[in-house]
Structure 1
């Protein structure tokens, strides 16, 4: 059941447990917005510059996977990971030919598999891990807490886009 009070998830250090709660709450709310979407709706493009809901879901999984690589093993994508994840990460023009025709269970499973790796790893970390300083390739410092904040805020941002796309789909159906 939904608990609107922030708390630390049991079995984790305090800050990691709070992060886990926020990750779970964010995902629960995202999944609520996805209920009953068809493959056609997941592939809907408002115009030639827009992203589909399917593209946004793939992007969310790729952002989380990249942040796993950066924070769990302190590196960027290797060549194989880059081939597998970059299209969804960058959401470039190539995405239209590669990210389509998948049903909702496909995207939910992809998101779930990536998230399970996050949960399993974070369960083994202490709060100090969140504050470990690292550097982006350009030398800019960051810590693991920032990376996981970004995973959450990216999903929330794209959930807003999903809500908008759903409204556009309804408007188009009303016009036709």
Structure 2
């Protein structure tokens, strides 16, 4: 059994690292209205956490399928890109995807075996760069909106805040799937 002095020393070494990595405060990002700024903070936090989780994957890890019904990490990231792009265009620009957008980012709107077979051979950086591009447009579009818009209804019982909450929670759900896939990667 370790002595009390050793335990305290270890705690003093580890505690600053824990505190530096603590995520206990949601903030509103400057340059946005308060509620939109809070959503931007959450969207960016999730994107950063997912990126950190996958940024060093090699090609075989990016394309890995642990069974016939699974999705690859590359497909999941592309799905996040597709989902965000769809809602960005629909809510911030008030339009549908162009045929070029559908071909470039819409391919992973749904996840299935066909999409997984199509999304192979691209490095993880390819998907992360696409996500960066889509996010840049999202952030620029959200800067042009205010909290009154954010709370306004698209239709009865559905407002813009909920749509962007859905984009955020969608990322959180797939972050869990990505973690599961990473735990199943061959050694």
Who is 2:28 aligned against? Answer: 8
Report the secondary structure of 2:175's partner residue: helix
* 2:55–2:125 CA contact under 8 A, matched in 1: no
TM-score (norm 1): 0.87
The Cα RMSD (Å) is 1.8
Partner of 2:173: 157
Specify the alignment match of 2:183 in structure 1: 167
Deviation at 1:86, TM superposition (A): 3.5
Q: Provide runs of 4+ in structure 1 moved above 3 Å.
A: 75-86
* Unaligned stretches of 5+ residues in structure 1: none
In the TM superposition, residue 47 of structure 1 has moved relative to its aligned partner by 1.0
Say how many residue pairs are matched.
Answer: 167
Answering whether residue 63 of structure 2 is matched by residue 43 of structure 1, we say yes
Residues of 2 paired with 1:24 and 1:106: CA distance? 19
Q: Equivalent of 2:163, from 133, 144, 147? A: 147
Tell me, in whole angstroms, the C-alpha distance in 1 between the residues paired with 2:114 and 2:22.
Answer: 40
Q: Distance in 1 between matches of 2:55 and 2:105?
A: 25
Q: Secondary structure at the match of 2:113?
A: coil
Name the TM-score, length of structure 2 as normaliser: 0.82
The alignment partner of 1:94 has SS state of helix
Partner SS, residue 8 of structure 1:
coil
